[in-house]
Amino acid sequence: MFETLEDRPVDGILRLMQEYRDDPREVKIDLGVGVYKDATGLTPVMRAVKAAEHQLWETQDSKVYTGLTGDPAFADALIGLVLDGAVPREKIAAAATPGGTGAVRQAFELIRLARPDARVFVSDPTWPNHLSILSYLGMEMIPYRYFDEESRGVDFDGMIADIRKAKPGDVVLLHGCCHNPTGANLNMTEWQAVLDVLLETGAVPMIDIAYQGFGDGLEEDAAATRLVASSVPECLIAASCSKNFGIYRERTGLLMAISSNADARKRNQDTLAFLNRQNFSFPPDHGARLVTMILNDDALRADWMAELEEVRTSMLGLRQQLADELQRLSGSDRFGFLAQHRGMFSRLGTTPEKVAEMRRDSGIYMVADSRMNIAGLNAQTIPVLARAIIDAGI
Ligand code: LMR
């Protein structure tokens, strides 16, 4: 029967991971998948995660199922981290999910169950898997302008004009911080204007927040999500712990559904439990438990925050060094945007042909749309990348 299956193109980001591994060259630079790497190229287990794992190993006496939507203590802890009391807890339905992707998938399914004809407005560009999952679920998507190819910042007027076309029953998907793939973000005045449009149109915001703590700081990165979530009647938030806790493979995420009243909250909560049951039954617990332990223990939390801050500032340092090196080589400020962008990624703003040329000639692996993982750089590779960018005539 399976001969009827069609060939499936591999996700471009994951294909790039494999091509990098297969490249026999000694000097090669991996700027592909969104995984943090330290200066030695390692993706370390964070100190607080190790300590919590140790404690868990000593104290955990059962691995019996948790609830269908996960341990409520995890939901409480992560809601605290993301929203910090901006929305009353009794308005929030929540379900633990396998990673942030699981939260995104369950959010789309919740929308489709509620409104089969909902249109989802997506930034152009957005994380390719948003589009892939929406298309798989047969949901209509409407791109809104986002990236200004000229300035490499946000095309704010274009964005506002496009999301104004949303109607009640539509959803506007927003990146809470550290926009993936561009690295270009809204400031708080612009977020306020986006919120005004959401209130005018009656469209429901869905916020994907996968990089809290990687941009301007834990609180700063959540400020836009808190502003929107506390001002609209309904809102979906998909949060990931993969990056900020460095627990990628543990698949730890949470979907929050802010509801307009207690009845709606109960229906949302029951529907999230139903969706988990249909798709995978109980969500993974190991990562969620570690996150709960870290957030609820003063010493572990302080140590985690300190290490996350080191990660964040190291990426800021790499951004600045790359921008400085490019300024030196080009004699111009045209790469200044690299230091302005925030999070793990920057979109360089060049063609797939030039991206392929840099891979062929210099062993530099970035996504075809010219997204670079800044954490893939170090003091030795920054000059190599800068030289390749200039040699490619970008
Ligand atoms: C990325 O965008 O590289 C990450 O979110 C990893 C992934 O699953 O694509």
Catalytic residue among 48, 95, 103, 127: 127
Tell me what pLDDT residue 12 has. Answer: 87
Any ligand 1 atom below 6 A from CB of 127: yes
Q: How confident is the model at residue 10 (pLDDT cuts 50, 70, 90)?
A: confident
Residues 178, 295: Cα–Cα separation, whole Å: 22
Q: In what order do the strands lie in the sheet with 140-145?
A: 92-97, 253-258, 235-240, 204-209, 171-175, 119-124, 140-145
Query: Would you say the CB of residue 34 lies under 6 angstroms from ligand 1?
Result: yes
List pLDDT tens digits, range 104-151. 999 999 999 999 999 999 999 999 999 999 999 999 999 999 999 999
Segment 340-343 long-range contacts (CB within 8 Å, at least 24 positions apart): 340/153, 341/152, 341/182, 341/183, 341/184, 341/185, 342/177, 342/178, 342/183, 342/185, 342/214, 342/215, 342/216, 343/177, 343/178, 343/179, 343/180, 343/183, 343/185, 343/211, 343/214, 343/215, 343/315
Mean pLDDT across the stretch 29-54?
95
How many A from CA of 306 to the centre of ligand 1? 24
Mean pLDDT of 43-62: 98
Percent pLDDT > 90 in the chain is: 97
How confident is the model at residue 142, as a pLDDT?
98
Instruction: Mark whether 243 is an active-site residue.
Output: yes
Catalytic residue from among 203, 238, 243, 304: 243
Domain 65-296 classification at class level: alpha beta
Is position 304 annotated as part of the catalytic site? no
**Is the per-residue pLDDT at 65 higher than 90?**
yes
| Candidate list 103, 210, 257, 375, residue with the active-site label | 210
Catalytic residue status for 127: yes
Angstrom CA distances, 319 to 51, 313, 315, stand at 31, 10, 6
Q: 9 pLDDT exceeds 90?
A: no
Instruction: Compute the distance from residue 34 Cα to the ligand 1 centre, in Å.
Output: 5
pLDDT band at 229; cut points 50, 70, 90: very high
Work out which ligand 1 atom sits closest to the CA atom of 373.
3
Q: What is the pLDDT of residues 332-377, one digit of tens each?
A: 999 999 999 999 999 999 999 999 999 999 999 999 999 999 999 9
| Residue 182 Cβ contacting ligand 1 at under 6 Å | no
Q: Is the CB of 224 under 6 A from ligand 1?
A: no
Both structure tokens of 122: 């997506």
The best mutation among 127, 131, 177, 182 to test binding of ligand 1, ranked by most ligand atoms within 8 Å of the C-beta, falls on: 127
Which residue ranges make up each domain of the chain? 11-44+300-391, 65-296
Distance 266 CA to ligand 1 centre (A): 32
Is 23 catalytic? The answer is: no
Mean pLDDT of 256-264: 95
* Ligand 1 pocket test target in 33, 208, 252 with most atoms within 8 Å of CB: 33
Look up the ipTM and state it.
0.92
What is the residue with the minimal CA distance to atom 2 of ligand 1?
34
Residue type, 303: D
11-44+300-391 is a CATH 3.90.1150.10 domain: yes
Confidence check: pLDDT of 186 > 90: yes
Same fold across 11-44+300-391 and 65-296: no
36 lines ligand 1 (CB under 6 A): no
The pLDDT of residue 178 is above 90: yes
In the prediction, which pLDDT does 348 show?
Answer: 96
* SS (HEC) of the chain: CHHHCCCCCCCHHHHHHHHHHHCCCCCCEECCCCCCCCCCCCCCCCHHHHHHHHHHHHHCCCCCCCCCCCCHHHHHHHHHHHHCCCCCHHHEEEEEECHHHHHHHHHHHHHHHHCCCCEEEEEECCCHHHHHHHHHCCCEEEEEECECCCCCCECHHHHHHHHCCCCCCCEEEEECCCCCCCCCCCCHHHHHHHHHHHHHHCCEEEEEECCCCCCCCHHHHHHHHHHHHCCCCCEEEEEECCCCCCCHHHCCEEEEEECCCHHHHHHHHHHHHHHHHHHCCCCCCHHHHHHHHHHCCHHHHHHHHHHHHHHHHHHHHHHHHHHHHHHHHHCCCCCCHHHHCCCCEEECCCCHHHHHHHHHHHCEECCCCCEEEHHHCCCCHHHHHHHHHHHCCC
Helical pair 99-114 and 262-279, crossing angle rounded to 10 deg: 120
Mean pLDDT, rounded, of the chain: 97
227 lines ligand 1 (CB under 6 A): no
